[in-house]
Amino acid sequence: MKDFAFTGGRPDPYTFPTEALIEASAKALRKLGGQLVNYPGESGYRGLRELASMRFERREGVPLPVDNTSITSGSMQALELVLGTFIKPGDTVLTEEFTYSGTLGIMRHLKANIVGIPMDYVDGMDMDALEAQLKALKRQNVTPSLIYTTSNHQNPTGAILSLERRHRMLELAEEYDTLIVEDDCYGDIDFVPNPTPASLFKLDTSNRVIFIATFSKILGAGVRQGYFVAQQPYYGMIHHNRWDGGTSALASAIVAEFFMEHLEAHLETTNAAVGAKCQTVIDTLEANVSDLCTWTKPRGGLFLWIDLPESTDMNKLSELASAKGVGYSNGSAFHYAGDPVKAIRLAYAYCHVDDVPEGITYLAEAIRSAQMATVDAAAAD
């Protein structure tokens, strides 16, 4: 049986640049050689921090501060360090109603009181709802530790926080004296020109934004090269909790050498491949379940969100899809409180493009077959 894996936020394996990475490895190793006996330092290999800065400048027009950039094991370790620094047990944190399950896992592990803010699938978190929540918390004398947001191509919905909302979020963070953790893991995975507004980190004027990004989603999660950027005193506070001796300089140097030469061309290749898969998913859904479901139309990123009919039997859907080798993620995994929701997330970059129509057709059939006979049951009464 074929494996139609629409699970896990992984980039396209078929455009993975094996040969270019082999060349980059040789360059990196000849450049560093015996220097690799040294510790990378807790901020990590400077060449990759410089590359991260240039990557940001390419899109945002301004560089990242290299001395305030720290390389981590993917964005996960950045999240672990940043959230671990600012969240104490019982602290309140705010996030989109639906957000990355890994972030929720860390927040729960830290015993945070997670408050989900309503959002829409196009423009992201609802700022009126955020303001109302901040007001309500203030009445209870609660200052949230932070607002966590995936500003670009949000996981799981693909929403892009609008420029207007970004400005408003920054104002509210200042008014209510809280931090913003901006997770930009999916930045640069763009299917159309310039889909995303200026980053919160760039717009910030009152040192309230900690920026997280990664090379995992444009290259591979297996390389484990993410980073966080924070101004002082936050940078020092976060490193006070870091005891791992820094991230592999070997892997960092290879990734730096590769992107130094190939960033633009690699993004063009992989974004075209991933964008084509996304469109194929949409076309196949359109042809099969447009009467039953609605779904997001991502302008980038790795995820598409399908709202299913209320009459969907989620367990049956899972069984039917699995039986055909189709994997997806249950919507409840992304709900801030883990509530059951009639929605699923598809990660469309991993499956081979030629297999997408077959896989999504099976999924569509499973969705149709998983509908509980509510109308018939009513008619039978």
User: Which residues lie near a second copy (CB under 8 A)?
Assistant: 8, 10-14, 16, 18, 21-22, 25-26, 29-30, 32-40, 72-74, 76-77, 79-80, 102, 105-106, 109, 219-225, 241, 243-251, 254-255, 350
CB closer to a second copy out of 16 and 325: 16
CB closer to a second copy out of 167 and 242: 242
- Dihedral angle over CA of 70, 76, 79, 80, nearest 10: -100
Q: Residue 123: what are its φ and ψ, rounded to 5°? A: -105, 5
CB closer to a second copy out of 169 and 212: 212
Least distance in Å: CB of 247 to a second copy?
6
CB closer to a second copy out of 241 and 290: 241
CB closer to a second copy out of 167 and 239: 239
Say if residues 336 and 118 touch (Cβ distance below 8 Å). no
Sheet holding 179-183, edge to edge: 69-72, 226-229, 209-214, 179-183, 146-149, 92-96, 113-117
Residue 313: other Cβ atoms inside 10 A: 16
Least distance in Å: CB of 216 to a second copy?
8
Least distance in Å: CB of 288 to a second copy?
27
Say if residues 200 and 213 touch (Cβ distance below 8 Å). no
CB closer to a second copy out of 36 and 353: 36
Least distance in Å: CB of 222 to a second copy?
4
Distance of CA 65 to the CA centre of its chain: 22
Least distance in Å: CB of 5 to a second copy?
10
- Dihedral angle over CA of 241, 245, 250, 256, nearest 10: 30
Least distance in Å: CB of 75 to a second copy?
8
Shortest CA distance to 152 belongs to which of 179, 125, 130, 116?
125
